[in-house]
């Protein structure tokens, strides 16, 4: 599927490029219009990425870790002192959160497609899933 999309994109680029240089006057106008729209799209995407990078650097996403910490504190308050298994699970989740915070600080905010960023998101989803599971376990006990 991915190679089919790449092939289609290459064909479109070749056709637009051919028409841009060798087409009739009407085809050249259409190709120039397409090229201008693609340039505008590129500028818009660049602006969006710059905006998100600025938000990243300002700490917009730091609140996520604060919310997770608050959730852990609420879980601690609900766990009975005799529930050693839940307390150990919570300690493990807090360590995972700390590790993810370190990863977060080391991520490149300009490269949202890197393997490190994808891995971070997967690990964050896993942490949230485990936290939800612990909350359910604690509420059932």
Residues 114, 47: Cα–Cα separation, whole Å:
19
In terms of pTM, does the model score above 0.75?
no
Residue 87 vs residue 105, higher pLDDT: 87
What distance in Å separates the CA atoms of residue 34 and residue 49, rounded to the nearest whole number? 22
Q: Rounded to whole angstroms, how far apart are CA atoms 125 and 119? A: 10
In order, the DSSP letters of 42-74 are: HHHHHHHHHHHHHHHHHTTTHHHHHHHHHHHHH
Alpha-carbon separation of residue 10 from 5, 14, 39, 103 (angstroms): 9, 6, 17, 37
Please state the domain extents for the chain: 2-55, 61-140
Q: Which tens digit of pLDDT belongs to each residue from 66-86?
A: 888 888 888 888 877 667 888
Structure tokens at 48: 């969006």
In this model, does residue 26 exceed pLDDT 90? yes
């Amino acid at each position: 599927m991915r190679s089919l999309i790449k092939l289609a994109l290459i064909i479109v680029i070749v056709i637009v490029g051919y028409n841009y240089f060798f087409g009739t006057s009407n085809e050249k106008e259409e190709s120039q219009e397409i090229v201008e729209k693609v340039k505008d799209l590129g500028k818009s995407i660049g602006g969006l990425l710059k905006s998100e990078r600025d938000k990243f650097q300002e700490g917009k996403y730091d609140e996520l870790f604060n919310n997770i910490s608050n959730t852990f504190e609420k879980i601690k308050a609900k766990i009975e002192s005799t529930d050693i298994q839940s307390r150990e699970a919570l300690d493990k989740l807090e360590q995972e959160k700390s590790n993810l915070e370190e990863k977060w600080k080391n991520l490149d905010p300009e490269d949202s497609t890197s393997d490190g960023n994808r891995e971070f998101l997967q690990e964050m989803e896993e942490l949230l899933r485990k936290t939800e599971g612990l909350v359910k376990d604690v509420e059932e006990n």
